[in-house]
Chain A
Amino acid sequence: MTSLSRDDVANLARLARIEMSDEELVNLSNEFTVILDAVARVQEVAGADVLPTSHPLPLRNVFRPDVVVPSLTPEEALSGAPAQEESRFRVPQILGEEA
């Protein structure tokens, strides 16, 4: 039986950038015990001799030519922006590494 602790779920929520209340974390942790048991069945048949399929189509080498096509106007690009300034998207202060 696989299970995820409240703290495991909290770590996943952090990776996925979703704030979660303690109650939500506990609920999800409980649900995952059931869900993971169900999905872990895939391991029963996934032998080393089976190749993975990541895509249903056997397509290869789909490219486009290096040609410039018109962009959106800056007004269109910014039309959905929650906040903007000087034709740029305005976002709250970024914590983290300097790029």
Chain B
Amino acid sequence: MALTYDEVMAKYEPVLGLEVHVELNTQSKMFCGCSTIFGAEPNTQTCPVCLALPGALPTVNEKAIESTIKIGLALNCSIAPFSRFARKNYFYPDMPKNFQISQYDEPICVNGYVDVEIETDEGPKVFRIEIERVHMEEDTGKSLHVGGATGRIHGAEYSLLDYNRAGIPLVEIVTKIVPGTGKYAPEVAKAYVAELRDILRSLGVSDVKMEQGSLRCDANVSLRLIGVETLGTRSETKNVNSLRSVERAIRGEMIRHAELLNKGERVVQETRHFQEESGLTRSGRSKEQAEDYRYFPEPDLVPVAPDAAWIETLRAALPERPSIHRKRLQEAWGVPDKEMAAMINADVLNIVEATVNQGADPTKARSWWLGEISRIANDKDVAITDLAISPTDVAEIVALVTAGELTDKLARQVIEGVIAGEGNPAAVIAARGIKVVNDDGALMAAIEKVCAEQPETAEKIRNGHLPAAGALIGAVMKETKGQADAARVRELLLGHLGQG
């Protein structure tokens, strides 16, 4: 009975719609001064405003507005000269006011687009995703369900509420319907979310961590028979918490819809929840009656009417679009596709770039970050950006190696020391007494000592058998505890034995 994806595609055309919620990384909440730090003790970041105590009033965080405008500009949107907050009324215990301050018919950014490129059977192809709106709203609190087996809401005896997250600024980015992606719908959706994530990161407006929920995607999918204009009934899948899940959820929904339609059943317009383990979606509890959100303009806030000068200042300061930026770096650095992909996958492109900007050679910067430092991050099981080593540190180390003041081996020790918190490279070198022995006098003493210990080998070299030099160089290196520059040792040794 189960249809294959190809069977679905032979008969139906998918239409997508994507809603992405992004938590902004402001210091304080959207409508009050409470901190937004993730993971604080429960209800320590709450106040009369975000607890909706009687009498409390919201005030708008200017940085959140600025971030939203930046997002709109980066997504090629028009910034509305006049926009308003509205109340979206519905009761839910994790929402203290029992209305969410959101935007309704007057959002701050409208009509933009994002181009994403994916690999198709005919080679790379660009798909344009049109953006309908970008608007501001606030997050809800978090509930912990107690009793029942799973910690899930169903079967719980009661719930415990923590409002630390309530009121954290959210930006919702809504696409127009996306037709015409054909069988590439899942890949296009994934590429779109990935592109959004990169753009948001480059703007510095959000942590964009899908696993922590600072970027969340709701995927709307509907199918229609190929050649038919009318849209099919859509389902809205929530809880899609990774890029891979975006792809899986859409593919799964397309197959589920097709199976229903083939059986002559109808698709129910509903909210579904993505199950990470199975890759399937589960129906949300269907509401007995449709909600009526009774939107109306938020009377406690005044309209947002950004002036043109502000918008233009923000526009002028926009960073290069990540996909374009990547292409430019790749050309400038002369990096092959595979290496570029490796850096992107390892999430080190930005730090490598920062290291290069500090004067390091791109190849060397890349190899330190992708090699030794990535290895340490893996061993410690932390994100590479969380290690206590900065692009400046790495650039300094690269410079020392290039100058011959550090060997690769010593450089690894310095890196280890910096990550261990012993200070910057100079401090680590000083504290650990690391230095390349490039005092020729000391080296010559070691060379003479080694030659005296291994006279036969020395004699071979003197007779022109140069490959034998390796053994003596190794011995000298050992004698100097690895702090000598091997090239200089070789030079001095060969000179000493009449081969210079």
Query: Which of A's residues lie within 8 Å of B, judged by CB?
Result: 11, 14-15, 17, 54-55, 57, 59-69, 71-74, 77-78, 80, 85-99
Task: Name the CB-closest residue of A to B157.
Answer: A93
Q: Which of B35, B48, B152, B299 contacts A68 (CB 8 A)?
A: B35
A65 CB, nearest partner CB in chain B, Å = 6
User: A71–B35 contact, CB under 8 A?
Assistant: yes
Q: A95 CA to B143 CA in the complex, in Å?
A: 12
User: A93–B158 contact, CB under 8 A?
Assistant: yes
User: A98–B33 contact, CB under 8 A?
Assistant: no
User: B271–A69 contact, CB under 8 A?
Assistant: no
Q: Which of B33, B43, B152, B305 contacts A67 (CB 8 A)?
A: B33
Q: A71 CA to B34 CA in the complex, in Å?
A: 6
B177 adjacent to chain A (CB < 8 Å)? no
B44 adjacent to chain A (CB < 8 Å)? yes
Q: A93 CA to B303 CA in the complex, in Å?
A: 38
| Residues of B451-471 whose CB lies within 8 A of A | none
B314 CB, nearest partner CB in chain A, Å = 14
Residues on the B chain within 8 Å of A99, using CB: 92, 94, 140, 143
B384 adjacent to chain A (CB < 8 Å)? no
Q: A96 CA to B306 CA in the complex, in Å?
A: 39
Residues on the B chain within 8 Å of A65, using CB: 62-63
Task: Name the CB-closest residue of A to B96.
Answer: A89
- A64-B61 CB under 8 A given contacts A88-B43, A91-B93, A97-B285: yes
B117 CB, nearest partner CB in chain A, Å = 34
Residues on the A chain within 8 Å of B154, using CB: 98
B28 adjacent to chain A (CB < 8 Å)? yes
Task: Given contacts A54-B84, A87-B42, list 10 more A-B pairs with CB under 8 A.
Answer: A64-B33, A69-B28, A71-B46, A72-B51, A74-B43, A89-B161, A91-B161, A93-B156, A94-B92, A99-B140
User: A66–B48 contact, CB under 8 A?
Assistant: no
User: A64–B60 contact, CB under 8 A?
Assistant: yes
User: B43–A63 contact, CB under 8 A?
Assistant: no
Q: Which of A59, A69, A97 contacts B302 (CB 8 A)?
A: A59
User: A77–B51 contact, CB under 8 A?
Assistant: yes
- A69-B160 CB under 8 A given contacts A57-B302, A98-B152: no
User: B27–A63 contact, CB under 8 A?
Assistant: no
Binary flags per residue of B49-61, CB closer than 8 Å to A gives 1, else 0:
0010100000111
B331 CB, nearest partner CB in chain A, Å = 37
**Can you name 18 A-B residue pairings with CB atoms under 8 Å?**
A57-B302, A61-B303, A62-B60, A64-B33, A65-B63, A66-B27, A68-B28, A68-B34, A72-B47, A72-B51, A77-B43, A77-B163, A91-B158, A91-B161, A94-B93, A97-B284, A98-B154, A99-B94
User: B41–A71 contact, CB under 8 A?
Assistant: no
Q: A99 CA to B162 CA in the complex, in Å?
A: 14
User: A61–B143 contact, CB under 8 A?
Assistant: no
Q: A70 CA to B192 CA in the complex, in Å?
A: 39
Task: Name the CB-closest residue of B to A60.
Answer: B305
| Residues of B1-60 whose CB lies within 8 A of A | 26-28, 32-35, 41-48, 51, 53, 59-60
Q: A94 CA to B160 CA in the complex, in Å?
A: 10
Q: Which of B42, B153, B273 contacts A94 (CB 8 A)?
A: B153
Residues on the B chain within 8 Å of A60, using CB: 302-305
B92 CB, nearest partner CB in chain A, Å = 7
Binary flags per residue of B263-289, CB closer than 8 Å to A gives 1, else 0:
000000001010000000000110101
B362 adjacent to chain A (CB < 8 Å)? no
Q: A72 CA to B61 CA in the complex, in Å?
A: 19
B145 CB, nearest partner CB in chain A, Å = 8
Task: Name the CB-closest residue of A to B147.
Answer: A93
Residues on the A chain within 8 Å of B61, using CB: 63-64, 66
Residues on the A chain within 8 Å of B60, using CB: 62-64
User: B289–A11 contact, CB under 8 A?
Assistant: yes
Q: A71 CA to B35 CA in the complex, in Å?
A: 8
B144 adjacent to chain A (CB < 8 Å)? yes
Nearest first, the 4 A-B pairs at minimum CB distance are A69-B33, A66-B63, A63-B62, A88-B160
Residues on the B chain within 8 Å of A71, using CB: 34-35, 44-47
Q: A61 CA to B160 CA in the complex, in Å?
A: 37
- A74-B42 CB under 8 A given contacts A91-B93, A96-B285: yes
